[in-house]
Structure 1
Amino acid sequence: MSKIDLRKKIVQFTLEKKQLTGVTARVGIVLDISGSMRNLYARGVVQEVVERILAVASKFDDNGVLDVWVYDNEFSRMESVTERDFGDYVKRHILNNRSIHKFGFNNEPPVMEDVIRKYTKEEKKDKTPVFIIFINDGGVVRATKKVIKSAAVQPIFWQFVGIGNSDFEVLEGLDNMTGRVVDNADFVHLDRIEEVTDEELYDRLLNEFPHWLKAAKDKRILQP
């Protein structure tokens, strides 16, 4: 059995445990490519993250598609990835792509606005809930909170994942952020994500998503 198939089995077990079987969702990943991330790209950690999250998309999305964005002080909406073409995805589509701005400073709101634009304007006829995994290694700009707050009425859940040991003050304050129709974002800190087992990763990534699904349906953000 391939590694992706093994991971899909672990995802399935996690879905059953969290009563998420039968849930369909579009899945996207946003990857920090600011200067402090350079070593994680070079060591293949980011490629491994993409492969691990692809297993989630394969269970949630009917087409098994994982949408991808990268960002530093600029952003790029990338070609989506599937089980057919995930090998060396980061090297082929990101690191070797000269049109991608890399290793600058981080600025989250523009890429978040593009995520919102894709799912709520360009593809607004699709009412499927959206699960976004947002990988960041610290220093999120404070304006990120404003975007999250305004996006609370949208069918998008933001799962932020902090890696490394930098400053996550903005993301750590998400749970206490008021003024939203529903709590549409969560933050987990995984210092060395490459050392976290698949079981723990999926358990933590999918911890708050079920609560958001229920709340969003209660508020008619999602169809009951």
Structure 2
Amino acid sequence: MTEPLKLTSFDLLKKKVDIALEKKALQKGISRVGVVLDISGSMRRLYQNGTVQNVIERLLALATRFDDDGVLDVWIYDNEFTRMPSITENDFTDYIEREILSNPTVKKFGANNEPPVMRDVLQKYLEEETSEVPVYLIFINDGGVKKASRKQDNVSKVLIESSNQPLFWQFVGIGNGNFDVLKKLDNLEGRFIDNANFFQIVDIENESDHDLYNKLLNEFPLWIKEAKSKHVII
């Protein structure tokens, strides 16, 4: 008698993603998926204790179901940014330690500056790798988003300028930091369509997979519908 196939912890994550997608009536392969990770000084503990590695694995499980090619694109940023190697099911083990913490060429644990990395996200998806497949970009931050004058580049300006593009920004605030800038995103005026959402998770280390995936996929279906109605995506 053949023994039943034992599912890995990563296989179980993918099954949880499937359940969340079904609840939201979202098809598999609907989007390219990327993640921007805050690596400012206040994030040091979460990188060193394995929390960020755990988050990456949970997001990769989403990408394998959600992304058209099963790849999770990765950026990290503090006051500078680095476009990191993308992650697949074949190379996610110890990714954070291997590619970031043990890599002396990667800038980390400084202050934070969001617009430059957001501009690079737009460059990658809208200029370098154009596609009819929309982008779902997860942006993880632990507070203290840089405020800028009207003359300086800022998060709001990037969102307004990209609101007619096939890219949705899902901001996730972790911890108890100051998220005043991100909390105002839903009321940001001047956009072609609402292209961003924000939610906060105080303790992401103990957030269940079920709750995380449901929150991540809460507003994206609404954007898909509006983007199609206004011909932002096909």
**2:40 aligns with one of 34, 40, 50:** 34
Alignment of 1:145-160 (within 5 A): 145-160=156-171
1:141 CA drift (Å): 1.9
Please provide the CA RMSD for this pair: 0.8
Please state if 1:81 is matched with 2:87: yes
Q: Find runs of 4+ consecutive structure 1 residues off by over 6 angstroms.
A: none
| CA distance in 2 between partners of 1:212 and 1:180 (Å) | 13
Contact 2:29 2:68 (C-alpha < 8 Å) held by counterparts? no
When normalised by structure 1's length, the TM-score is 0.97
Letter in 2 for 1:147: V
2:23: which partner in 1? 17
**1:107 aligns with one of 110, 113, 116:** 113
When normalised by structure 2's length, the TM-score is 0.93
1:60 CA drift (Å): 1.2
* Unaligned ranges ≥5, structure 2: 1-6, 148-153
| CA distance in 2 between partners of 1:208 and 1:4 (Å) | 25
2:202: which partner in 1? 191
Contact 2:43 2:109 (C-alpha < 8 Å) held by counterparts? yes
| CA distance in 1 between partners of 2:21 and 2:83 (Å) | 28
Identical positions, percent: 57
Alignment of 1:60-99 (within 5 A): 60-99=66-105
Please state if 1:213 is matched with 2:224: yes
Per-residue CA distance 1:172-209 (angstroms, 9 max, x = gap) = 00111111111000001001101100000000000000
The size of the alignment, in residue pairs, is 222
Contact 2:185 2:196 (C-alpha < 8 Å) held by counterparts? yes
1:86 CA drift (Å): 0.3
Please state if 1:130 is matched with 2:135: yes
**1:140 aligns with one of 117, 136, 145:** 145
1:63 CA drift (Å): 2.1
* Unaligned ranges ≥5, structure 1: none
1:2: which partner in 2? 8
What SS does structure 1 have at the residue aligned with 2:43? helix
1:99 CA drift (Å): 1.1
Per-residue CA distance 1:44-87 (angstroms, 9 max, x = gap) = 10000100000110001232100000000000000000010000
Contact 2:30 2:67 (C-alpha < 8 Å) held by counterparts? yes
What SS does structure 2 have at the residue aligned with 1:153? coil
| CA distance in 2 between partners of 1:140 and 1:17 (Å) | 32
